[in-house]
Amino acid sequence: MKPLVYTRAQALPGILAQRIAILDGAMGTMIQRFKLGEAQYRGEGYTGPGNQGSRFADFPRDLKGNNELLSLTRPDVISDIHGRYLAAGADLIETNTFGATRIAQEDYGMADLAFEMNVASAKLARAACDKYSTSDKPRFVAGALGPTPKTASISPDVNDPGARNISFEELRASYYEQTQGLVEGGADVLLVETIFDTLNAKAALFAIDEYFEASGECLPIMISGTVTDASGRILSGQTVTAFWHSVRHARPLTIGLNCALGATLMRPYIQELNRAAPDTFISCYPNAGLPNPMSDTGFDETPDITARLVREFAAEGLVNIVGGCCGTTPDHIGAICSAVAPLATRQRPQFFYKDAA
């Protein structure tokens, strides 16, 4: 098999072979702490760099909750969050693009802004990484491609199992646009994450490969699925092992799990993934436990608890990248960073990456 030759982040495979790398934590959790209202989401009152003036003042739909729009209307908020995670020790930070697909933005009537959101978000993350990077600790922008709110494998109508509200082609086109925006904005890595439907992920991976072929770029790909409950399956019905075999053709730099579960419940599935994918780097970024509306972050676990649980993964030799998903903050990432720093990374894979480092 022809070895992969990355056009960006060439140093990353070598880093993962030498030490455990740190991914950042939740973007949504941090945005909620700013307590932004409808006016702030529209950019009203913001006069800093990149301000949009009155561009969205009269937009006919409510925009509060459209976190990806903040990369355009409140870039200061997104940059601040990136900076906090980098200061806490993150090696990779995710772009604010989880929902920045044409498909997801249709919910706000902003599908035509998807490409612009991706470019802007990647530029913000790029600037933050460039500010914090040093010769001995480079930082990397992970361009985040979320699952979209629609599923190609599951019917939205309980009375019609064959019904679908999205096609593979629609997903492919949407992901191609997102990929182009992220790469043009400065992403180092592409992260297809929070996968609950493998067919959606396949559309994203197809689009990424198509873009690489057209552009001449070849970025490392990270893939992260989501086990939704104690059944050990993702929502579209696959076990962790079956999920891996469905996406391994993309030759990802990492395969992993995130979201839905805290570290305690995620552990057996990370162990399964280790057995299924011995030649690939493993990532894991769990939620901060279970939802708890009474806590400061909306989740159960404090930074010390999450860090202790993630450290157990590292001590067992299960991971190459760790971070946090829903409910995690820079304090969680800082605690995780300190907890795993003395521990060895998972044994270096030798199959896909021996010529890529």
Beta strands at 140-145 and 92-94: parallel, antiparallel or unpaired: parallel
Q: Band of the pLDDT at 357, cuts 50, 70, 90?
A: very low
Asked whether 301 and 327 are in contact (CB, 8 A), the reply is yes
Strand runs (DSSP E) across the chain, as ranges?
21-22, 92-94, 140-145, 189-195, 221-225, 254-262, 281-287, 321-322
What percent of the chain has pLDDT above 90? 87
**Nearest to residue 260, comparing CAs of 238, 235, 294?**
235
User: What's the whole-number average pLDDT of the chain?
Assistant: 94
Interaxial angle between packed helices 330-340 and 303-315, expressed in degrees from 0 to 180 and rounded to the nearest 10: 30
pLDDT digits (tens, 9 = 90+) for 18-58: 999 999 999 999 999 999 999 999 999 999 999 999 999 99
- pLDDT score at 164: 87
Integer angstrom CA distances of residue 21 from 91, 148, 168, 298, 313: 6, 27, 33, 26, 13
Q: What pLDDT is attached to residue 229?
A: 80
**CA gap 65, 28 in Å, rounded:** 9
Task: Pull the structure tokens for residue 104.
Answer: 């997801």
Domain positions in the chain: 12-27+81-340
Q: What is the pTM of this model?
A: 0.95
Residue 209 in this model has a pLDDT that exceeds 70:
yes
Residue 290 tokens, joined = 């279970």
Does 288 score more than 90 pLDDT? yes
Rounded distance, CA 209 to CA 314, Å? Answer: 32
Q: Which residue has the higher pLDDT, 164 or 6?
A: 6
Ranking 68-77, 87-96, 222-231, 347-356 by mean pLDDT, the lowest is: 347-356
- For residue 353, what pLDDT band results from cuts at 50, 70 and 90? very low
Token digits for 199? 């067919």
**pLDDT for the residue numbered 1:** 66
Tens digits of per-residue pLDDT, 104-163? 999 999 999 999 999 999 999 999 999 999 999 999 999 999 999 999 988 887 888 888
Query: Which CATH superfamily, name and number, covers 12-27+81-340?
Result: Homocysteine-binding-like domain (3.20.20.330)
Query: pLDDT tens for residues 295-338?
Result: 888 899 999 999 999 999 999 999 999 999 999 999 999 999 99
Of 240, 246, 122, the C-alpha closest to 187 is 122
Q: In the chain, pLDDT over 70 holds for what percent of residues?
A: 97
Helix (H, G, I), strand (E, B) or coil at 299: strand
